[in-house]
Structure 1
Amino acid sequence: MTGSRPALDRDSAIAAYLKYANRMPKLADGHLPAQTQEVANILAIADQFDVIIFDAFGVLNSGADAIPGALQAVSALRQRGIDLAVVTNDASNAPEAIIERHRKRGFDFTVESLVSSAKYIVPMMERHPDVTSWGIMAPSHWPIDRLPGDARLLGDDDADYDAVGGFVLIDSDDWNDLRQQRLETSLAKNPRPILVGNPDICAPMGHFLSVESGYFAHLAADACGLVPECVGKPYREVFEDILQRHPNVDPSRILMVGDTLHTDVLGGLAVGIKTLLVTRGGFLDGYDDLAGLYDLSGLRPHFIAPAIGAGLE
């Protein structure tokens, strides 16, 4: 954790997801499938669904590039008349910017089809009317003037950490060891709310896993004994946003597609929809003990495929 976009190895990321599983959503009875069906790609099961929700990183793209076959898969789903949506924990960019990057990769998603965790940051903060000042983990370009109360970017001044009434962790791009130490020290002295706009522990960036805000939030919570409050996958708001758009669609006809058990699959299972885990190009690329991971986590998807467009490249 020494510079822009610190990295984390996969075994450490898995260990962190397992360690902090008790801070994540719980499943209702009957929401965990008894077994996982292997499929060639998403088209093999597409006729079972009216709505398909995609995670972006690790499903549609890895870093800047579209995952092979993903463009063809999305095009084929459109031809079948299936409603498509994208759910992202990228809270540091405007929806228009996120969609523009997808368009440059060749996808035809619209702003209306995107649900970002950023949408729920202000409502989360407003649940704390007694907090009037906030310390923000975010890049310097992030529009903190849109946030309620006195919001200040957290940097290298110790006084900023002690002066605020709560913290909002949005993006770790400019974060480092020293800033994390300041955060943990301040919280240990005076526990205050820790709100998280991107609860991911890591994200696939092509050839490495970037450490995300969720990882630092859990470390900060360990220092003060508080549980972070989070919006974004696997928490309910982003999924319920999609469900509310399709009130007449049975949840069994809605599919969440992702590359991680503890964000995408857990989030889908928690709201009672079907789930597809992909293993190529994302978090689990090259991982060879999925059965063991199912056992350790107590989670499993309804379906598993190499990629949404495997064989369509």
Structure 2
Amino acid sequence: MDDYAGATHPPDGSPITSAGFADLIDGYDAFVLDQWGVLHEGNRLFDGVLPFLAELARRDKEVMILTNSSKSSVRNVRRLETRFGLDRSRYRALISSADLVHDWVAGTYPIEGLPAPGAVFVCADEGDEQLLDGTGAVVVEDVTHADAVLMLSVPVTDTADDHRHWMAAAVRTGLPLVCPSNDLHTVRPGGVFSGMAGVIGGYAALGGACHNLGKPSSHVFAACARQMESADPERVLMVGDQIASDVVGARAQGWGTALVRTGAGELASAAGAVRPDHLIDELRL
């Protein structure tokens, strides 16, 4: 699409840089926003978020929130409203990758070659195992009695070595590992930490099969697209703070991409061969 007023015009292949989104809005019909690192950092919304969303509403733009999360969309919506004051009327829908994990376990979201499990071994932090409520799956403590491993969340200090005690047995049993996120980084109120990719990578290094239903997989992007009114992928802009999940996943859908420098964005913008279409300081006008 055309460059816009006030943008820095870099060499070919580099993203167009800007402080805010004011001059991009008319170029798109729908904005798909990552949550952590884009809207907030765990304790507060970033300053420009509410004015930005108000302007999108004024111009009749569609807004979706697409998050790699260990919590259901219902829990995420409730948290955005109660902790951050972000009313549900500000966006069309919130899609959480955790819902796909729940539905796969419950047998209502079929995945080719990956039958729904009757028994699961679960790694979950901060009560995230409640995602399995109502699925009918049995949670087991002995991984050799499971049909699959669910890695929903782990403490930010965990490494693959913290999980070696069950990983080798799970690989020998031939268990698939299914997760809602394989992000390189995770944004928390205290800063940016290593995401679950390091732990999950340890399972893959042992020969285990890993299935990420979150970004950048087509599973969660397709779930988002099914709930959107906007049909033209070239008129959709994904706004995220991680290249490997947000930018790569959106590119596969034919969407435009913008990386913000908040959250993990400053780390992402300094490395890697894949580049977003736009590099923006933060989510603001």
Say whether the fold is shared (TM-score over 0.5): yes
CA contact (8 A) 1:145 1:151 kept: no
CA-to-partner distance for each residue in 1:215-261, whole Å, 9 max, x for gaps? 322211212x1331111111112222232234653111000000011
The one-letter code of the counterpart of 2:78 is E
The one-letter code of the counterpart of 2:68 is N
Structure 1 equivalent of residue 169 of structure 2: 186
The 1:164/1:246 distance shift into structure 2, 3 A limit, reads closer
CA distance in 1, matches of 2:156, 2:47: 30
CA distance in 2, matches of 1:136, 1:77: 40
The 1:98/1:142 distance shift into structure 2, 3 A limit, reads same
User: 189, 196, 215: which one pairs with 1:233?
Assistant: 215
CA contact (8 A) 2:178 2:210 kept: yes
Instruction: Please tell me the root mean square deviation across aligned C-alpha atoms, in Å.
Output: 2.6
User: 233, 246, 267: which one pairs with 2:249?
Assistant: 267
User: 95, 99, 117: which one pairs with 1:115?
Assistant: 95
CA-to-partner distance for each residue in 1:193-224, whole Å, 9 max, x for gaps? 1111222232111332344444322211212x
1:52 and 2:31 matched: yes
CA contact (8 A) 2:128 2:152 kept: no
Displacement, 1:182?
1.5
Aligned ranges 1:1-313 → 2 under 5 Å:
34-91=13-70, 93-103=71-81, 104-110=83-89, 113-125=93-105, 126=107, 127=111, 128-129=114-115, 131-139=117-125, 140=127, 142-143=129-130, 144-152=132-140, 160-173=142-155, 176=158, 180-223=163-206, 225-246=207-228, 249-279=231-261, 281-285=262-266, 287=267, 290=269, 293=271, 297-309=272-284
Partner SS state of residue 307, structure 1: coil
Displacement, 1:86?
0.3
CA distance in 1, matches of 2:195, 2:188: 11
Which structure 1 residue ranges, 5 or more long, are not aligned?
1-32, 155-159
The 1:249/1:39 distance shift into structure 2, 3 A limit, reads farther
* Structure with greater helix share of residues: 1
CA-to-partner distance for each residue in 1:143-163, whole Å, 9 max, x for gaps? 2343354233x5xxxxx1222
CA-to-partner distance for each residue in 1:120-172, whole Å, 9 max, x for gaps? 114444443384321011244632343354233x5xxxxx1222232011111
Displacement, 1:63?
1.7
CA-to-partner distance for each residue in 1:6-42, whole Å, 9 max, x for gaps? xxxxxxxxxxxxxxxxxxxxxxxxxxx9441112312
Q: After the TM superposition, which of the residue ranges 43-52 and 232-241 deviates more from structure 2?
A: 232-241
CA distance in 1, matches of 2:116, 2:257: 39
CA distance in 2, matches of 1:231, 1:73: 29
CA distance in 2, matches of 1:52, 1:137: 33
The 1:71/1:149 distance shift into structure 2, 3 A limit, reads same
CA contact (8 A) 2:175 2:209 kept: no
CA contact (8 A) 1:137 1:172 kept: yes
The 1:118/1:252 distance shift into structure 2, 3 A limit, reads same
Q: After the TM superposition, which of the residue ranges 47-56 and 126-135 deviates more from structure 2?
A: 126-135
Counting matched residue pairs gives 263
Structure with greater contact order relative to length (CA < 8 Å, sep ≥ 6): 1
CA contact (8 A) 1:255 1:275 kept: yes
The 1:120/1:175 distance shift into structure 2, 3 A limit, reads farther
CA distance in 2, matches of 1:299, 1:54: 19
TM-score by length of 1: 0.75
